[in-house]
Structure 1
Amino acid sequence: MEYLKRAESHEQTFSEEVEKTVKEIISNIKANGDAAVKEYEERFSQSVRPLRVSEEEIEKSISELPENVKVLIDRVVERISAFAEAQLNCILPLEKDFGSGIHMGHRIIPVEKVGAYIPGGRFPLLSSGPMVVAPAKVAGAKQIIACSPANYKGGIHPAVLYGLKRSGATDIFAIGGAQAIAAMAYGTESVPEVDVIGGPGNRFVAEAKRQVFGKVGIDLIAGPSEVLVFADETAEPKKCAADLLAQAEHDPYARAIMVSTSRTMAEETIQEVDRFLKEFSSNSPAHDSWANMGEVIVAETLEEGLDICNDYAIEHLHVHVKDSRSLMDRLHNYGSLFLNSDSSVVFSDKVSGTNHTLPTDRAARYTGGLWVGNYVKVVTHQEITGAGIELLASHAAEQSEIEGLEGHHLSAALRLAENNVTSKTGN
Structure 2
Amino acid sequence: MVANAPLRRRMAERRMTKAELAREVNTEIEILTGGPGTVSERTVHNWLTGATRWPPAKIRLALEAVLGCGPEELGFIPTSRTRTTSEEEVRRRDFITAVGGTALVAAATTAASPVPRRIGAADIERLRFRFAEVIASDHRLGGRLSIESHATALADEAMALQEHGTATQRIRSSLYACAASFVSSAMWAAIDGRRFDAALQHHQKAAHLAAMSGDSGIQFRIWSHAGSLYRHLGRPGDALAANDVARSLPIARRDPMFASLGHARHAAIHGLTGDTNAVRRSLGRAQEALDRADPSAPRPVWITAFYDQAELDSLALAAHLSAGNWEDAEAHAHRSLAGRRESMQRSRAITTVRLAHAQLGQGDFEQAVSTAMVMPAEVSNHPRVIGMLTAFGTKLDDLAPRSSPARAWADYARTTWRSV
What TM-score comes out, normalization by structure 1 length?
0.26
Structure with greater proportional strand content: 1
The structure showing larger relative contact order (alpha-carbon pairs under 8 Å, at least 6 residues apart) is 1
Q: Which has the larger radius of gyration?
A: 1
What TM-score comes out, normalization by structure 2 length?
0.26
Structure with greater proportional helix content: 2
